[in-house]
Structure 1
Amino acid sequence: MNFLKKNLLIQIIIAIGLGSVLGNYLPEEIGRVFSTFNSIFGDFLGFAIPLIIIGLIVPAIGNIGKNAGRLLLITTAIAYGSTLFAGLISYGVSISTFPNLLNTGEMSQVQEATRTLKPYFSIEMPPLFDVMSALIISFVLGIGISKNNLQYLEGVFNDFQKVIMALINKAIIPFLPLFIFGIFLNMTYNGQVFVVLDTFIKIIGVIFILHIFVLVFQYVIAGIIGKQNPFKLMKNMLPAYFTALGTQSSAATIPVTLKQTLANNVDPKIAGFTIPLCATIHLSGSTLKIVACAIALMLVQGEVIEFGEMIGFICMLGVAMVAAPGVPGGAIMASLGVLSSILGFNTEQQSLMIALYIAMDSFGTACNVMGDGAIAIIVNRIGQNKVAAS
């Protein structure tokens, strides 16, 4: 029972399974009870998203700039470039393969001719400000804190981050399985569930292959720059990869990642600041998953995917990933604002994104952690060249 309470993935799998079955048997009156919960929780999630953005992004940007130096800027630029590369590769592969792989537009056709479970009542919870305003406020405050060394304001937002993390861990994450159960209950009731489950299975296969490609590419680049065998470097990092599979957290894997990075002949001082920093700002595997899942959901719902809009989404997602806390599922929580503001995802679409993301959270985290080791090798080489030049 304790294992079930602590394992969000298992809870979500059970919720999806029960919702997919019980939607065929539960009376409409009972189904509407769960629909009422979903309506209230969905409004609460919409209210919380701008607060989550500010609570995570402001301290993240403020803390990164606190000890700014040339290597720090270089590391941040490489991490952001790696995240963008993963997102763009994911976009290219997804837009090329998913239209043929998925039943595009089928969900929207099902929705037009089917019934739905209506809530008994709803409670409106308008957010204090919209998502884009929250993003702009976060960037202004975060940069201002980092540049002006505003310790008091930094402390205030660090405390606010604790409040937001408590909100996520105590008031959002525990109720997500029930929320997802309600979504799949309704989708079974109106005939959409098989389209969604078919989409889940196909997406997971494509994303796993993409992870492998991105990791090999990162280590080939690192091997060329560091003048080492890339596959030997990858082999040395495998303990960190498998540890991340278990912890689902880049932060929790830092001790193992650091140890294996040192085994790849990275200077201890370089590794000591690169690995913890990248555990916060480098989420190429997470970005890859989010982009692929977003495209898949848009396709099955018959939405038009515009190139310029997706490029803007990927660029903003790379920035939002800086705010992803070192906890399981942190990246998808940090991305909800960008999904809403740029792609127009509603609370139901965001919940499906959460379910898809968490189903593959272990592999995304493992990809992030392995990529941290590659960045450390590149930064180590750059640092050696600067020392030699001086």
Structure 2
Amino acid sequence: MFAALARLSLVTRILIAIILGFIVAYLFPNVAPYVSLLGDLFIKALKSVAPILVFVLVLASITNFRVGQGAGNLKPILGMYVVGMLLAALSAVAASILFPSTLLFTSGTEATLQPPGSISEVLKNLLLSFITNPITALNEANFIGILAWAVGLGVALRHSSDTTKHVITDISNAVNSMIRIVINFAPLGIFGLVVATFAQAGLETLENYAHLIIVLVATMCFVALVINPILVAIVMRKNPYPLVLKCLRESGITAFFTRSSAANIPVNLDLAKRLGVNEATAGVSIPLGATINMAGAAVTITILTLAAVNTLHIHVDFVTMMILSVVAVVTACGASGVAGGSLLLIPVACGLFGIPTEIAMQVVAIGMVISVLQDSTETALNSSTDVLFTAAVDLSKK
């Protein structure tokens, strides 16, 4: 039986694990605390290997870079990131107008997290991330700092001896071998995550916010299945859906359950390699996308902010909604690549409408209640889009 499973593709094994996870969560919910250890170990393994993987791959790519290898693809990829996020935010505005949501506020909130005070603070933190100590950046999984140091050292080592370049390449290959081992355990990790998620949360806690969840998830699906394919079709000038569906299937499913763009970086790099994407391009664009390409976060920030506005009966004109879309894109770029990173940026957007922090933090608390589906879907959209846009640009040039 194990030999037969080993011959199946990784995606097929993950789908089997998801189905088994649903069955176990429904029939034996009491085993969730024990089975969830598999999921915790898998996420921990991904998060542990991701920073050093990104550092070594980017360093090796730039050190061994030759003119014409594909670094020029980064500019159009970044352009697609920005346009995709803006269109996602505008889609969220349209969804909020067509299907307005309301929230249930209480007199207090349990949330004790501290959100950024303004957009300038978000941008300041983002810029300061570039000059973080490299050891600290690796320890804290600060991918902006990791990228900055990897690029700087890579440029400095471009004129090093061939022996040095071979050593760096060998280290990169060794780290790649480690990550392949981790990814092969994905079905077990996903199985544990599915059991834990549905045994603990179930559907009862989501009933009060069913409308809000439907609007959020439907908007993200619209972005993934309509907006993104249109952008890819413009770039590739061919049917985009084979590539779109492959990225959703092989990157989105894993990201849905890990709920971390950072943890999904190794999965995306592996998929990009199998798609034939230039490693020099993928080694920079995918880690960067995990930090700044947050279309799902832009949707979450926009819809939850407008839901609060609608609940408080605040009048919003068209121009203000457009400004909110831009603010959502800018703040989404500052969302961390971990679970729930976008929720703490909601108070920044709420500040546009004069909503007090106490109320805004209640919106954050509501976001945490529905995060079982909201954050999972958001991460699946964010992470799959990283590899999708990278592959679209790179493959179109070939």
Mapping of residues 317-336 of structure 1, within 5 Å:
317-336=328-347
CA contact (8 A) 2:73 2:393 kept: yes
After superposition, the C-alpha distances for 1:211-261 in whole angstroms (9 at most, x for unaligned) are 222112212431442245322113322021110111001111112222223
Of 365, 371, 375, the match for 2:389: 375
Paired position in structure 2 for 1:209: 218
Conserved 8 A contact 2:344-2:364: no
Contact 1:257 1:373 in 2 (8 A): yes
| Structure 2 CA distance for aligned equivalents of residues 333 and 327 of structure 1 | 12
| Runs of 5+ unmatched residues, structure 2 | 1-29, 37-61, 63-70, 143-204
Q: 1:76 and 2:90 equivalent?
A: no
Output the CA distance in 2 between the equivalents of 1:315 and 1:304. Answer: 19
Q: In structure 2, which of residues 306, 311, 314 is the aligned counterpart of residue 303 of structure 1?
A: 314
Paired positions, count: 270
- For 1:310, the aligned partner's letter is M
Deviation sequence 1:286-313 (CA, Å, 0-9, x none): 2112211211222122222233223222
- Which amino acid counterpart does residue 134 of structure 1 have in structure 2? E
**How far apart are residue 266 of structure 1 and its match?**
2.5
Instruction: Report the secondary structure of 1:330's partner residue.
Output: coil
Residue-by-residue CA offset, 1:25-57 (whole Å, 9 max, x unaligned): xxxxxxxxxxxxxxxxxxxxxxxxxxxxxxxxx
Instruction: Give me the whole-angstrom Cα distance separating, in 2, the residues matched to 1:157 and 1:260.
Output: 28
| Preserved contact between residue 294 and residue 353 of structure 1 (Cα < 8 Å) | no
1:131 and 2:118 equivalent?
A: yes
Length-normalised TM-score, structure 2: 0.56
- Indicate the SS of the match to 1:328: coil
Give 1:265 shift. Answer: 3.7
Matches within 5 A, 1:118-197: 131=118, 134-135=121-122, 137-138=124-125, 142=128, 154-155=132-133, 162=140
CA 1:85–1:132: 2 relative to 1, 3 Å: closer
Deviation of 1:347 after TM superposition, in Å, equals: 2.5
Counterparts in 2 of 1:1-390, with a 5 A limit? 71-98=73-100, 102=101, 131=118, 134-135=121-122, 137-138=124-125, 142=128, 154-155=132-133, 162=140, 200-217=209-226, 218-237=228-247, 238-340=249-351, 344-356=355-367, 358-359=371-372, 360-381=374-395, 384=398
Letter in 2 for 1:81: V
Change (3 A) 1:117 1:325: closer
CA offset at residue 157 of structure 1? 12
Residue identity in the other structure for 2:333? V
Question: Residue 181 of structure 1 corresponds to which residue in structure 2?
Answer: none
Distance 1:156 1:229, change over 3 A: closer
Q: Is the 8 A contact 2:122 2:334 kept in 1?
A: no
Kept after mapping to 1: 8 A contact 2:80/2:231:
no
Q: Shift of the alpha carbon at 1:75? A: 2.7
Change in CA separation of 1:257 and 1:303 when aligned onto 2, cut-off 3 Å: same
Deviation at 1:162, TM superposition (A): 4.9
CA apart distance, 1:345: 4.4
Cα distance in 2 between the residues matched to 1:83 and 1:313 = 13
Could you tell me whether the CA contact under 8 Å between 1:309 and 1:342 is conserved in 2?
Answer: no
The whole-number CA distance in structure 2 between the counterparts of 1:250 and 1:375 is 15
Q: Is the 2:96–2:303 Cα contact (8 Å) retained in structure 1?
A: yes
Change beyond 3 A, Cα 1:248–1:5:
farther
Contact 1:86 1:284 in 2 (8 A): yes
Question: What amino acid sits opposite 1:363 in the alignment?
Answer: T
CA contact (8 A) 1:107 1:302 kept: no
Q: 1:197 to 1:340 in 2, by over 3 A?
A: farther
TM-score scaled to structure 1, two decimals? 0.57
RMSD: 4.2
**CA deviation digits over 1:155-195, x for unaligned, max 9?**
39967x9599xxxxxxxxxxxxxxxxxxxxxxxxxxxxxxx
Corresponding residue for residue 183 of structure 1? none
Separation in 2, partners of 1:156, 1:341: 36
How high is the sequence identity, in percent, across the aligned residues? 22
For 1:370, the aligned partner's letter is: S
Where structure 1 has 5 or more consecutive residues not aligned to the other structure, the ranges are 8-66, 119-125, 165-195, 385-390
Any idea what the Cα deviations from partners look like across 1:332-383, whole Å, max 9, x if unmatched?
A: 2244334335553423332323432524100110011221122113331565
Alpha carbons 1:266, 1:377 under 8 Å: kept? yes
Deviations 1:36-84 (A, max 9, x none): xxxxxxxxxxxxxxxxxxxxxxxxxxxxxxx9x7544433232121111
Distance 1:344 1:4 in 2: 39
Q: Which amino acid is the alignment partner of residue 391 of structure 2? A: I
CA distance in 2, matches of 1:305, 1:198: 28
Paired residues of 2:268 and 2:387 also in contact (CA < 8 A):
yes
